[in-house]
Structure formats: C-alpha cells, structure tokens
Structure 1
Amino acid sequence: MFKENLVKLGIAPIGWTNDDLPELGKENTFEQCISEMALAGFTGTEVGNKYPRDTQELRKALSLRNMEIASAWFSSFLTTEPFEETKAAFIQHRDFLFEMGAKVIVVSEQGYSIQKLAVPLFEKKPVFNEKQWEDLAGGLNELGQLALEKDMKLVFHHHMGTGVQTTEEVNRLMEMTDPNLVFLLYDTGHLYFSGDDPLEVLREHFHRIKHVHLKDVRDSVAGRVKEEKLSFLDAVREGVFTVPGNGGFDFSPVFQKLSESEYQGWMLVEAEQDPSKANPLEYALIARNYIKETAGV
C-alpha cells in the first residue's frame, strides 16, 4: 500500500512506562522497553521518562537495537505563562532532539489542561477565549520559527483534556497559525475518543500532517468514562486506549488515505495501558502484525 521507504514505524514507550502515572510500569527498565520494541519489529521510539538524557548514552543503546528517536513530547504553556519561559525550555528540548537526529518536535499546549487532574474529562474540558487562542497561535508560530532554525518541524498534538481536542478546535488552530511554521501531529485515538471522525481531520489537513500516532480505543471503556464522569487518568487506568487492531476504530481508511497522499514520516503506535494487565511486548506484536496485514508495511 505504501511506497517503499516513505514511512517509518515506531512505538511509544508509554505502554511500558507511563510518564503521567509513574506507578504504571515502574518495574520495567529502559533496556527492556527498547529491546522489546525492536523484537516486535519497530525501528523508532519517542522519549520516555526512563530514557537517559545523555545523547551519547541514548544513541548507543538505540543503535545496538537498530532503533532511532522519532521525537519527544514538549509541554507548552503559551496561554498561561510568559512566552520567554516556554521559549527557553523549547530551545533546550529542540537542541536535544536535534542531536538525536529527530526531524519533528511534538508540542502540546498544557495551559488550562485537565489531563492530570481528578475531574470529569468531558464536563471540565477547557475552552479557550479569544486572547488565549491568539496567545497560543502567536506563540506556536514563534516556536515553529525556532524549530525551523534547525531544519526541524513543530507538530502540534491535539489531546484529550486540553483546549485543542476536537476537530473544530484543530481546524481553528490550523487557520490561525502559519502553515510554513506550525504542522500537525495526527492522533487517531484522541479524535476518536473525543467523539470526532478522525478521517475528517486527515482529509482536511493532510498537507499539514508531519507526524502520526496510531492509537485505538476500547468503546466500552470510553462509554463508561462519559457515563461515570471519569478523569483522563482514570480512563487510562481503566484501559480506554489500546493498540491498533485491538479496539473499535478501523484504521484501513486512514492507511489508505495516507498511502494515496504519499505521506512521508513516522507512524508511531501509542497506547497508554497498565502493563500488568496488557503485556507490552504482546500488544506491540498485535499492533505490528495488524499494521503489516492492513497497511502492508
């Protein structure tokens, strides 16, 4: 389906060790994590909380397993903090990723986010006012320019529990930002969980999509999250997310559209689960086999 060498396949460490819930996977080591990723057939990863920050040490560990860094999460606070604070942290993060050979920088706006709060996920979702939208868009344009200095791209991560979660909000952000400076991380799971059609964003903004997260959702758990007014972290604990091929979303049209449009870049499996309930290697293999069968890569 995909032309040879256009896409790379990776997997996020969040199925082994969870950054937001450190108790999930606390027993799993960095070495186990990247070894099982490689064993399952993936060649890339994003950076987790147990990864060494020394670039030489990290590069050596990955090269032994024929792995590389695709990107890493960066929390911006453009709607709540002075821009200079986010700018300084972003430059440090950018330079680390540049040294690791990454081409994209994942940015999520965490100003007013309820992602880590014990509040109902859907009822308490933040909604930005006009000034906050302007601060976000303007700040992202400036960060995008800083990324461009290193020939890198800023990819914005729409996310549950934040001010940019829905299709409407993604559309607005894309309209307000410079298409040459701010790009999009396309995450199937967050759109599907939000109640949106992931294909709509894919069709509308394909030209801005420079990074892809392949995340699936267990429909029964997602229904409980709404009915019982659970928080985002409670949803994760309950197993709302899973790998492609194990949830309610059909990835076939997504792979078809990405291949037809000759998408170039990383596709990363990402499914934050409790590793004591969902063995990370087992689920990595489920995902890898599903992608091979469905996408032909």
Structure 2
Amino acid sequence: MTKPAMIGSAPDSWGVWFPDDSRQTPWARFLDEVAAAGYTRIELGPYGYLPTDPLRLREEFDRRGLTMTAGTIFEHLHRPDSWDTTWRDVSAAASLTAAMGAEHLVVIPDFWRDPQTGRVIEDPQLTDEQWPAYAARVNRLARQLREEFGLRIQFHPHADTHVDTHGNVERFLHATDPDLVSLCLDTGHLAYCGGDSLKLIHDYPERIGYVHLKQVDPVVLATVRTEGTGFGEAVRLGVMCEPPNGLPELSPILDVLARLDVEMFAIVEQDMYPCPPDQPLPIATRTLAYLRSCGPLR
C-alpha cells in the first residue's frame, strides 16, 4: 500500500522569516499568490505574520480555498529556566493552530549563532548533562501541547542549532519519547548539515511525522562550509535553491514517504530571505509542477 504525501507551501517560500519586516511579502499578497501557484495547504509561518484572529484568518483562507497544515514556532528549552518564556510563545501559536483545525505544531530549536549577523552566541554543542535535561523539557512541552490543544509536536532540526547534524538528530530521537515527539524532516536543513534524509526515514520510519521539502545548492554549500558562514548569510547567497537544481533528489524521498502508508504533509519551504517581491510566485509555480512530475501527490 502507498499513500502519497499531501503537498503544501509556507510563508518561508515567499521570503518570510519574521512577524513583521518591510522587506517581506505582505501577508495578503502571500495568500493570494500561494493560491495562484496552485497550493491549497499552507503553514502558519512566524506567529503574527498572518492575522492572529482565527475568525478573520479562516475568512481569508476560505476566500482563497486554503487550509492550515501546522503552526510554526521556535523554542529555547536547552537553556535553564526557559519554560515560562517558551510556553508563552508556543501556547499562543498553538491556540491559533488548533482554532484553525490543524493538528500539528512545527517546533524549531533556537540558534547558537545569530541568524542575521552569523556571530556565535552560544556553545554549538550541548554537553552530556544538557542533552537529557533538554529532551525532558521537550517531552514536557509535547505532553502539555497534546493535553491542552490536541496538537502533535513535529520537531524541526535546523542549521545553526543544537539539533542539526545526522548524529545530533539521532541523539535527539533516542532521548525523546516517541509517543510524544515526532520529527519534521527538513530535507534541505539535513543536507546542509551533512545528513541523509533517506537513511533517516529508513532507520526511524515511525518518528517521521511531517516533512519540509527543500534543496541545497552544493556549490554554494561548499563555500559556506569552507568559510564558516552563518545560515542567514548562506541563505542570502542562495544556498537553498529551486528544485530540481540542488540536493537531495526529492523523487526518491517522496516515493519512500508514500510507502510508509501514513498521512503525511510535505510542505515546500525554500528559504530565501530577503527576496525581490516578484521572485517567489514563479518559483512556487514551477516547484509544484516539478514535484507533481516526481509522482503522485495529494
């Protein structure tokens, strides 16, 4: 049996990283263009970018034939005494996500390197003592999100965070409760950090709960690695590129995901902050056509 992935897009593919930034695509234009490109499913993006009143947001979605797949939010639970500030941000995004009828919250770890300047602001590695404490806090977050909002955490490994490389992703999976925490597999971030998406799916099929589809430009990535460039600057250099111009190849990934025979959202998410206002729509349209050529999608 196979079950093709349910395709969608995200504000990230329109150059959106922040709730409010004059260099970003205005939210109404984003909604208009994501629908025009042919998508019917989207993520919330940075909390506060789209309207936070669920009645208004549902009206905006309904006018364009859109539904929400997941909310998106950062956490910083690797730091001591971080629960209250993390829960404040996470619960706000979770409340809107649940009100919109979505079942997933994509949770991203905070950076050890400033995403704008590239300056190292924390130790890039967690210690052996920090790992279990961090995992316990993530488990607590997942449990509370399920109990209060009925949402499932989809944890998103990310470049320039402590859960980045293939080895660190595996360590995170071993340390967290599989009944509480699933993985948002981001094919681009894992490749950026030297990981292998197909191997991760093969080794941990039951932990893959959600997917972000993106590719990295291997030439730009080689320069980024040689020069120790921060992720924000790497994105400005074009390290996350339009499929099928980069790595990993997406067709085999979509094929193996379908063979898992589970409900799976696969969200196109091409980092390109900041970008010219007329750049995202043509790329999004071409990307959807390319992915449909890779095999069946829903």
Give your verdict on TM over 0.5. yes
Stretches of structure 1 lacking an aligned partner (at least 5 in a row): none
Contact 2:13 2:268 in 1 (8 A): no
Instruction: State the shift of 1:92 in Å.
Output: 2.6
Counterpart position of 2:5: 7
Task: Give the SS at the match of 2:204.
Answer: helix
Partner Cα distance (1:21, 1:92) in 2: 13
Contact 2:42 2:66 in 1 (8 A): yes
Counterpart position of 1:198: 197
Contact 1:2 1:296 in 2 (8 A): no
| Distance verdict in 2 for CA 1:144–1:258, change over 3 Å | same
AA aligned opposite 1:180 = D
1:73 pairs with 2:72: yes
Task: Give the SS at the match of 1:295.
Answer: coil
Counterpart position of 2:161: 162
| Distance verdict in 2 for CA 1:291–1:24, change over 3 Å | farther
AA aligned opposite 2:35 = A
| Distance verdict in 2 for CA 1:258–1:288, change over 3 Å | same
AA aligned opposite 1:107 = V
1:143 pairs with 2:141: yes
Contact 1:141 1:182 in 2 (8 A): yes
Task: Give the SS at the match of 2:294.
Answer: helix
1:96 pairs with 2:96: yes
Instruction: State the shift of 1:278 in Å.
Output: 7.5
Counterpart position of 1:279: 279
Partner Cα distance (2:261, 2:22) in 1: 37
Instruction: State the shift of 1:76 in Å.
Output: 1.1
Instruction: State the shift of 1:131 in Å.
Output: 2.5
Aligned length: 291
Contact 1:115 1:162 in 2 (8 A): no
| Distance verdict in 2 for CA 1:128–1:161, change over 3 Å | same
Instruction: State the shift of 1:24 in Å.
Output: 7.7
Counterpart position of 1:84: 84
| Distance verdict in 2 for CA 1:140–1:256, change over 3 Å | same
Partner Cα distance (2:264, 2:245) in 1: 24
Higher mean alpha-carbon deviation, 203-212 vs 178-187, is at 203-212
1:41 pairs with 2:38: yes
1:66-118 superposed Cα distances (whole Å, 9 cap, x missing partner): 111111221111111422332343223222211111111111221x5215153
Contact 2:191 2:247 in 1 (8 A): no
Task: Give the SS at the match of 1:75.
Answer: strand
Contact 2:2 2:261 in 1 (8 A): yes
AA aligned opposite 1:84 = D
| Distance verdict in 2 for CA 1:160–1:170, change over 3 Å | same
Contact 2:217 2:246 in 1 (8 A): yes
RMSD: 2.3
Q: How does 1:50-65 map to 2 (within 5 A)?
A: 50-65=49-64
Contact 1:185 1:211 in 2 (8 A): yes
Stretches of structure 2 lacking an aligned partner (at least 5 in a row): none
Partner Cα distance (1:142, 1:230) in 2: 34
AA aligned opposite 2:256 = K
Instruction: State the shift of 1:137 in Å.
Output: 0.5
| Distance verdict in 2 for CA 1:235–1:252, change over 3 Å | same
Counterpart position of 2:256: 257
AA aligned opposite 2:136 = G
1:235-274 superposed Cα distances (whole Å, 9 cap, x missing partner): 0111111233232321121011101111312110000114
Q: Percent identity?
A: 28
Contact 2:75 2:109 in 1 (8 A): yes
| Distance verdict in 2 for CA 1:2–1:270, change over 3 Å | farther
Contact 1:187 1:214 in 2 (8 A): yes
Higher mean alpha-carbon deviation, 82-91 vs 171-180, is at 82-91
Counterpart position of 2:28: 31
1:141-185 superposed Cα distances (whole Å, 9 cap, x missing partner): 111111221332111110000000011111111111111011110
